[in-house]
Amino acid sequence: MSKIRYERPVIKKIETGMPNKFGTRTEYEPMTHIDGLAVKSLVKEYGSPLFILSEKTIRNTIKKARKAFETRYPKVQFAWSYKTNYLNAICSIFHQEGSWAEVVSGFEYDKAISLGVDGKKIIFNGPEKSEEDLAKAIKNNSLIHIDHLDELYTITELAEKINFRPRVAIRVNMDTGVYPMWDRFGFNYENGQAWDAINKIMHSGKMELAGLHCHIGTFMLSPYAYGIAASKLAELALSVEQKFKHEIKYIDLGGGFASKNTLKGSYLPGTDINPSFDDFAEAISTALLNSNFKQDKLPLLILETGRALIDEAGYLLGSVISNKRSSTGRRNTIVDIGVNILFTSFWYDHRITPAQAFTQYTEDTCVYGPLCMNIDVIRESISLPLLNRGDHVVIHSVGAYNMTQWMQFIALRPNVVLIDMDEKPHIIRLRETLDNMNSQEQVPAHLVKFNK
């Protein structure tokens, strides 16, 4: 006779009318499969923890984003934000979908070139661009977004030396009514810095001022801020045309669209309250169409959104190492996913779903990672179904920033697998090994020997 499925015994006090930081149960169905592949088999084949990226979700999301903008504004171009996730396979999906590359360092610039991106379709942002990087970008006719005056002067000198007219934009920061106001990138709109930079570019005659750029914030929950930014940049572009008889070809509103993750401290889940692509598109397109651009002279709208395009396509699979009790009797569950590979657990209350069947019984749980560090907390308070040692969990919406900001710390970084459109898995980044780490190190000869 087959035995009944075991669930550990649990008793939970009923507390009514009391605010509870653990919230109510949120998971009703286990996530046994991702894009048709069993979580259990994926873990068995590729190990635990394991990053999974869904090509289907990536392509559907970028299509949704493009549709939201292209149905409202005639000239739209997305540029994939490399820093959000620069795994080669991921960048290539976005390039196949027509995105340009948006890079913020020489390393990222070289990565885009090595993937075969046309230099003319690379937007070079960021506060640090070496002379060597800039020279390369000028020769490749890339779009260089100037962050500060030192960079402006360097480009002027290089343009003269190389005898090539670089295509540039200035990065503009401004008050869009949100707090905190991001004023570290580029030149300020309100105090005249932006105009000062524009005047210098136009009077030098060494560069082509092709566009205007801004990056107003990150995980923006208000689409209206983008509307204000678009209006201000449109006004600036029209003033440049009036003053210098020079047409600004594009307006780049940067990135910062919120994904559907839930920010820590948020009362409601991100899936319910965060703006959609349509909300952002409506605010931006309305602002640009309502500005004084002539119908046939509308600038190209460039968008560098990263997080909102990739977050939902990423999953992190892990396994339960142990269940413990805290000094107060709270359930502590240790999983093999640490904050070194899930950096975004510092920002979000990530959704966690068990990968195997469970009942309606839950426990107020704190989920810890495996690192011997007190800060290694994945979720401080979550009402989770009962998990046993060895059970698998799926952490949702981890596609953005985790595979670029992750750290080799205490443990080695795991495999990253892409599930393609035909639901076939491919390793797109191999798990690290001790040899990988040691190959970067050198031990001076006098330190090689010691008493064993």
Partner 1 sequence: MKLRKNVAVSEAGLLFNPVTGESFTVNPIGVEILNLIREDKSPDQISKAIVDKYSTDQTTFEKDYDDFIGILYHHNLLESHEETTI
Residue choice 21, 325, 446, 452 for contact with partner 1 (CB under 8 A): 325
- Interaction residues for partner 1, span 273-302 (CB under 8 A): none
Task: Give the binding range for partner 1 (CB under 8 A) out of 3-11, 221-229, 279-287, 409-417.
Answer: 3-11
DSSP result, 188-200:
ESTTSHHHHHHHH
Residue 18 touching partner 1 (CB under 8 A): no
Our finding on whether 361 is near partner 1 (CB under 8 A) is yes
Q: Closest approach of Cβ 18 to partner 1, in Å?
A: 12
HSE, CB side, 13 Å, CA atoms: give it for residue 251.
27
- Angstrom CA distances, 318 to 256, 315, 394, 429, 444, stand at 29, 10, 7, 17, 39
Task: Give the tokens for residue 104.
Answer: 């913020």
Residue (35 or 363) nearer to partner 1, CB = 363
Residue type, 328: T
Applying CB under 8 A, the span of 5-13, 27-35, 108-116, 305-313 interacting with partner 1 comes to 5-13
Cis peptide before 30 (omega within 30 of 0): no
Between 3 and 446, CB nearer to partner 1:
3
The reply to whether 7 sits near partner 1 by the rule CB under 8 A is yes
109 Cβ neighbours under 8 A, 6+ residues apart? 103, 122, 124, 133, 136, 137, 142
CA pair distance 207, 200, nearest whole angstrom: 10
In the complex with partner 1, the residue whose CB is nearer, 283 or 367, is: 367
Number of Cβ within 10 Å of residue 120's Cβ equals 11
Contact 392, 318 (CB under 8 A): yes
Does residue 329 touch partner 1 according to CB under 8 A? yes
| Closer by beta carbon to partner 1, 15 or else 272 | 15
Q: Which stretch binds partner 1 (CB under 8 A): 9-17, 60-68, 259-267, 407-415?
A: 9-17
Contact 382, 22 (CB under 8 A): yes
10 binds partner 1 (CB under 8 A): yes
Q: H or E segment at 143? A: strand 143-146
Q: How far is the CB of 385 from partner 1 (least distance, A)?
A: 11
Query: Using the rule CB under 8 A, is 5 a contact of partner 1?
Result: yes
Q: Which stretch binds partner 1 (CB under 8 A): 6-14, 195-203, 229-237, 332-340?
A: 6-14
In the numeric block, the tokens 């990226």 are attached to 53
State the minimum distance, in angstroms, from the CB of residue 230 to partner 1. 53
Which of residues 154 and 323 has its CB atom nearest to partner 1 in the complex?
Answer: 323
Q: Do residues 98 and 302 make contact, with C-beta atoms less than 8 angstroms apart? A: no
Mapped onto helix, strand or coil, the DSSP state of residue 107 is: helix
Q: State the binding string over 371-390 for partner 1 (x if CB under 8 A, else -).
A: ---------------x-xx-
Among 4, 268, 447, 448, contact with partner 1 (rule: CB under 8 A): 4
Q: CB of residue 355 vs partner 1: minimum separation in angstroms?
A: 17
| Residue placing its CB nearer to partner 1 in the complex, 4 or 447 | 4
What are φ and ψ of residue 176, in 5° steps? -110, 10
199 binds partner 1 (CB under 8 A): no
| Residue in 154, 323, 381, 404 binding partner 1, rule: CB under 8 A | 323
Q: How far is the CB of 8 from partner 1 (least distance, A)?
A: 4
Looking at the Cβ atoms of 13 and 452, the one nearer to partner 1 is 13
203 near partner 1, judged by CB under 8 A: no
By CB under 8 A, tell whether 17 contacts partner 1. no
At residue 341's C-alpha, the angle toward residues 336 and 343, to 5°, is 120
Residue number with CB closer to partner 1 (1 or 447): 1
**SS3 labels along 212-275:** EECCCCCCECCHHHHHHHHHHHHHHHHHHHHHHCCCCCEEECCCCECCCCCECCCCCCHHHHCC
Q: Which residues bind partner 1 (CB under 8 A)?
A: 2-14, 323, 325, 329, 359, 361, 386, 388-389
